[in-house]
Structure formats: C-alpha cells, structure tokens
Amino acid sequence: GHWPSESQEWKDEAVRRWGALVSAGEADDWEAFVLSRLSKPPPPSPMDLLQEYYAHDTWQLLVACALMSRVNSWTHKHNCISGFFEKFPTPSAFIAADMNVVREIMYPLGLFDIRLKTLTELSKKYLSMPAFTLDETENKIWGCGRFVVDSYKIFCRSEGTTLTPDDATLHSFVRWLRCQPSHS
C-alpha cells in the first residue's frame, strides 16, 4: 500500500485502524494523529514476552500491559488478553462494548473495576488526543503506571535502550536489546 496524501485519506486510515469513534474527535492534523499511534517495535527476542505479541499495535500493547499487570501466570494472562482482542480488536469496539461481556472476559484477572477504568480512560484518550503520547507526568493516563509507560517506550517508541526499567523482565529485555547490532 501507499501512505495517504490528503487529510480525508488520513482520517479514513485512522477509522480503518481504530474504529468509527476516532471520527467523533476532529483532529486538526489527521496525518499526525495516525503517525503518532504507529508502533516501532524492537526485533523479536528469545524471551517470548507478551508485549512482543502486541507491539505491532500501540493500543493493543497498552491494553495488554494494563491487563497483565499484577497477574503471575503467563498462560492465564495470554488467554484473557487474546480473548479480549478477539471481542474488541479496536478502541472503538471496546468503548461500544456491552460491559457484561467485558466483565466476563476480564474478571479472571481480578481488579475488574480498576482495570475497566484504566482501559476506558486509555481508550478514550487514544481515540481523542491529537497526537498520542504517554508518560508519567503531563501525558499520564489513569491507571497506566511505570510498567505500562516503560513497555510503551520500549515496544512502541524504540526508546528501550534509553531506559532503566524497574520491572525485572523489562530490565532484562532492555539489556538484551542493547546487545543487538542495530541498537548498540
């Protein structure tokens, strides 16, 4: 394919990727809207992290991190997260969802009300910010703490080699990443 050349084509691309609710917000610059949400994932690692499965889609990566936080079992996390994206592949699909269906999928992870509030805030900001970015200060999203922000920077923004994550697994991934020829 080719990149859109006009504002309406960029808006159409945003709707194609993230659903009809992006058009509820009127971005001044649809190209910036789309490009700020495109992921720049690192190379695949031998660590088989869940983030690597979702790094191709910034919203999905952020949702996966919010869902996996404070859950130990890889299999449990993987099953719930993949089930979530089968039902809600885009932020628009999630916002429009029947909350009983959401509850059924997310309930096994625990902390349902907190996770629901996080995913709702995240999805609304993702659909409405003129240019999407996430950090722990002025671009903070409720419920998205250091683990989510570091995962975003590592797996979507190509900033992994500049970070020293607190999370032991992310720290190991960053050490591995720094040893890769294209990132050293």
Return d(Cα 59, Cα 176) in angstroms, integer: 24
Closest to 166 (Cα-Cα) out of 178, 155, 176, 174? 174
Residue among 100, 14, 28 nearest 59 (CA): 14
Helix (H, G, I), strand (E, B) or coil at 29: coil
Which pLDDT tens digits describe the chain residue by residue (184 residues)?
678 889 889 999 999 999 999 977 667 899 999 999 999 999 999 999 999 999 999 999 999 999 998 878 888 888 999 999 999 999 999 999 999 999 999 988 888 999 999 999 999 999 999 999 999 998 999 999 999 999 999 999 999 999 999 999 999 999 999 999 876 5
* In-domain check, residue 164: yes
Predicted pLDDT at 84: 97
Indicate whether 37 belongs to any domain: no
Within-domain flag for 141:
yes
User: How many whole angstroms from its chain centre is CA 5?
Assistant: 26
Task: Check residue 183 and give its pLDDT.
Answer: 60
Q: pTM of the entire structure?
A: 0.93
Q: Quote the number of domains for the chain.
A: 1
3-class SS letters over 138-157: CCCCCCCCHHHHHHHHHHCC
Predicted confidence at residue 109, as pLDDT, reads 86
Structural domain span for residue 66? 49-183
Is there a catalytic annotation at residue 57?
A: no
CATH number (domain holding residue 172): 1.10.340.30
Q: Does some domain include residue 23?
A: no
Contact 142, 62 (CB under 8 A): no
| Residue 157, in any domain of the structure | yes
Catalytic residue selected from 12, 48, 135, 167: 167
Residues 112, 113, 119, 122, Cα dihedral to 10°: -150
